Chain A
Amino acid sequence: MRYTILLHYPEMTPEDMGEDAWSEGEREFTAYAATLQAAGVLVGAEVLQPSSSTTTLRTVDGVLQVQDGPFADTKEQLGGTFVVDVPDLDTAIELARRAPGVSWGAVEVRPGALYTVEGVWTPNA
């Protein structure tokens, strides 16, 4: 069963954080990905660029609008995702508690509903 581990945390720059703390964060992400890979559960992972570089599309009154930013009010933003394939929620939680960011933001574990294989939707189970 696939679970997506979503990391939400306040966005920081290397300047805000200091170079050392920043590279420590990078090391943590590298180690985490390697751990999941070694466990044979990693489907894919993505660390996202800050929300300042995001673009949002939505339809307003039937007209497509393309705007910069998600304009979220929250301090914490979606910073990255890891997709893992494990037997149950407890295993997913066990992996999520080791995610970088668990000490500086919220880590969400969400079971997937469908995923694509060769472009075809497949139920997650």
Chain B
Amino acid sequence: MSDARAAAERAARDAYGRLVALLAARSGDVALAEDALGDAFEQALTRWPVDGVPRSPDAWLLTAARNRIRDVWRSAAHRRTAPLPDDPTTLDALARDPLADVDPDAVPDRRLALLFVCAHPAIAPDVRTPLMLQTVLGLDSAQVATAFAVTPAAMQQRLVRAKRRIAAARIPFVVPDRSAMAERLPPVLEAVYGCAAVTWRQGAHDLAGEARHLALVLAALLDDEPEAWALAALVTLSLARRQPRGVFVPLDEQDPATWDAELLAEGEALLRRAQRRPGVLGRFRLEAAIQAVHADRRRTGRTDWAALRTLYVALDAVAPSLGARVALAAVVGRVDGPDAGLAALPPEPSPPFQPWWATRAELLARAGCTTEAAAAFRRAAELADDDAVRAYLAARAG
């Protein structure tokens, strides 16, 4: 790929979410905004490598997309099949001059509103994260389908349905006010976290970088939300510890020298920003702090298990989950010995939970119960959905 093309792709990618959000906020129609922008994108990728990347890529793309939307609004087909917007100024603004009230060099950032649309309670939880990956980060539905291990056709259908719903039910493009924020922010944070988790589990470095970008955008836009900064810290710190694809090395056996020092420093700085903001200690602040304790091994050469135990106890109180309970049992096993860890392990979960079996196996192995440990490792290996993890667990089973 030529440098010009790469630069064009980066500029376009960076503008994508901002522009979809801006265009969709005008019409309430995400699908139309994406189609128009996709068209503008295509033009950019042929023209920019030849003409050079424009001084303001946003304004260039916005104008091109505006022209496309104008064509659609004017087409007889659209007039026949869709009701006109009730506010005639919407149509005029879009069709005639969307830049009339927009400074082309300072396109307003509507991504935050779009994030709240994607994670709206009226959107099914299982499509919130895919919708963000597509509309805010500009991934195509095939990439999103891969990340969620479903067929592109099935993913496409889910996304189309969600976008139709946004337009048909008229989900507003607004950032909730303070009173509604407590209710509306958690699903947004969850969905952004989902973007990050999905992308780094897939081992797709580019995608994971995009998810981190999204977390950073959210934190910057909300600014005073400690949980948003903590989420950005959590995503950054986790990303810093990515291991090469195809091999699984448990966290405490990883060589800290292989971790990305720059990302670790940035993650720690983000966590400090979260800590400086007032507010109750939330789930993401605790999870980021847990990551920071692990990251600290790079400096100190040892893991502060006691600190981890305190943090996991707090996490279990603030945001109880099976995952946190199992992780706490693993830490108790480190601090107080494998028998105490086994006692701290919750009862066998149903449906089966891979980390529960892996943790139990590890604790049994350290307690010297070799046969039972091997059986538990085999069970954990069966449940693993990642090839590298499965291979590691199978090897431990002997």
A47 lies within 8 A of chain B by Cβ: no
A31: chain B residues within 8 A (beta carbon): none
Q: Are B170 and A111 in contact (CB under 8 A)?
A: yes
With both beta carbons as reference points, the residue of chain B lying nearest to A110 in the complex is identified as: B169
Q: What are 26 A-B contacts defined by CB distance under 8 Å? A: A1-B86, A1-B170, A87-B170, A87-B172, A88-B170, A88-B171, A88-B172, A89-B120, A89-B169, A89-B170, A89-B171, A89-B172, A90-B171, A90-B172, A90-B174, A93-B121, A93-B122, A111-B168, A111-B169, A111-B170, A123-B83, A124-B83, A125-B83, A125-B84, A125-B85, A125-B86
For the complex of A and B, 3 pairs with smallest distance between CB atoms: A123-B83, A88-B172, A125-B83
Q: Are A89 and B85 in contact (CB under 8 A)?
A: no
Known pairs A90-B172, A124-B83, A125-B84. 6 more at Cβ < 8 A? A89-B172, A90-B171, A90-B174, A93-B122, A123-B83, A125-B85
B174: chain A residues within 8 A (beta carbon): 90
Residue interface mask A39-74, B partner, CB < 8 A = 1 = 000000000000000000000000000000000000
Which bracket fits the contact residues of A? 10 to 19
With both beta carbons as reference points, the residue of chain A lying nearest to B86 in the complex is identified as: A125
Consensus secondary structure, chain B interface: loop
Residue interface mask A10-27, B partner, CB < 8 A = 1 = 000000000000000000
B116 to chain A, nearest CB (A): 10
A residues engaging B (CB < 8 A)?
Answer: 1, 87-90, 93, 111, 123-125
B268 to chain A, nearest CB (A): 38
B171: chain A residues within 8 A (beta carbon): 88-90
B residues engaging A (CB < 8 A)?
Answer: 83-86, 120-122, 168-172, 174
B134 to chain A, nearest CB (A): 21
Q: A58 CA to B14 CA in the complex, in Å?
A: 56
B169: chain A residues within 8 A (beta carbon): 89, 111
A2 to chain B, nearest CB (A): 10
With both beta carbons as reference points, the residue of chain A lying nearest to B87 in the complex is identified as: A125
Q: A1 CA to B122 CA in the complex, in Å?
A: 17
Q: A93 CA to B121 CA in the complex, in Å?
A: 10
Q: Are A89 and B83 in contact (CB under 8 A)?
A: no
B83 to chain A, nearest CB (A): 4
B121: chain A residues within 8 A (beta carbon): 93
Most buried by A among B84, B85, B168, B169: B169
A97 to chain B, nearest CB (A): 11
B168: chain A residues within 8 A (beta carbon): 111
B85: chain A residues within 8 A (beta carbon): 125
B172: chain A residues within 8 A (beta carbon): 87-90
B17 to chain A, nearest CB (A): 22
Q: A123 CA to B120 CA in the complex, in Å?
A: 25
B27 to chain A, nearest CB (A): 12
Q: A125 CA to B174 CA in the complex, in Å?
A: 19
